[in-house]
Amino acid sequence: MRADDVVIVERPQPGVAQLMINRPERRNALNIEVKTLVADAVEELDADPEVRTIVVTGAGGAFVAGTDVAEMQTLTPVEHTLRVTDRMFTSLRRCATPLVAAVEGYALGGGCELAMCCDLIVAGERARFGQPEIKLGVIPGAGGTQRLLRTVGRYQAMRLLLTGAMIRTPEAFAMGLVSEITPEGEALARAGEIAVEIAAMPPLAVAAVKEVVQAGADVPLETALLLERKTFQILFDSADQKEGMQAFLDKRPPKYQGR
């Protein structure tokens, strides 16, 4: 399999890109090659003004079953540093374009961390989530402890992290880890529909929502509210704000230009 077959990028709809990890024989496990290709693809798509939303998924009925343990077993701390083994997660975390994860099958370890890097998670009803790293003598190293803590709270996070337990989509949804549940096999189609809906929204406002939510999550509430208010006010200088409100008054569809 060629390197460019391992991560497949498509443009299924105007404004929407789809990034698929394609290692079905390994349940799309993340090795350094895959992580590098995903990082490259995400950075390229994020820089493309024609891309308004990115759907992230896996091939063969699985999202990502984890990190490739066979490769990881022999890595030294220095090699982790020199090979920048967390670059993919950094690229996803810094991506300004909304990311929608379409999850079927397993989203474990690095796969669960990958899903949690996204802004929305759409999951088939039989998908499984978990951070089983403790069973390998390590802990999550790409945001698993911190994102779980901030998403599901301390006590549920500790249960999953200390036992390595896997949970199915309905339980993950009840915890707040999943945005929407679909019948098995329909997560990608539904994620695509949501991506199209986001892509049709005014780009400046979409970017502002993502920026304010991310920046405000870990600061005092008063600081976050100030950031929200200032961003709200700034958008009144945009052509999209004028178009959106005028279209509402005219009872017609708006035509946003991203300026």
What is the CATH classification number for the domain harbouring 126?
3.90.226.10
Q: Indicate whether 181 and 215 sit together in one domain.
A: no
Closest CA to 32 of 69, 59, 63, 77: 69
Q: Give the contacts of 100 (CB within 8 A, at least 6 positions apart).
A: 53, 54, 55, 56, 118, 119, 120, 121, 122, 191, 194, 195, 198
**Segment 228-252 mean pLDDT:** 95
Please report the pLDDT score of residue 76 as a whole number.
Answer: 76
Write phi, then psi, for 98 (nearest 5 degrees).
-55, 135
**Would you say residue 4 has pLDDT above 70?**
no
Domain boundary among the residues 184, 199, 214 is at 199
**Segment 186-208 mean pLDDT:** 97
Would you place residue 1 in the very low, low, confident or very high pLDDT band (cuts 50, 70, 90)?
very low
Residue 257 lies in a domain: no
Q: Indicate whether 164 and 217 sit together in one domain.
A: no
| pLDDT one-digit tens code per residue, 137-183 | 999 989 999 999 999 999 999 999 999 999 999 999 999 999 999 99
User: What's the number of domains the chain is made of?
Assistant: 2
Token pair belonging to 239? 């052509």
Q: Indicate whether 183 and 145 sit together in one domain.
A: yes
Q: Residue 216's domain spans which residues?
A: 203-250
Enzyme catalytic residues:
113, 133
This prediction has a pTM of 0.92
| pLDDT one-digit tens code per residue, 60-106 | 999 999 887 777 777 777 777 756 578 999 999 999 999 999 999 99
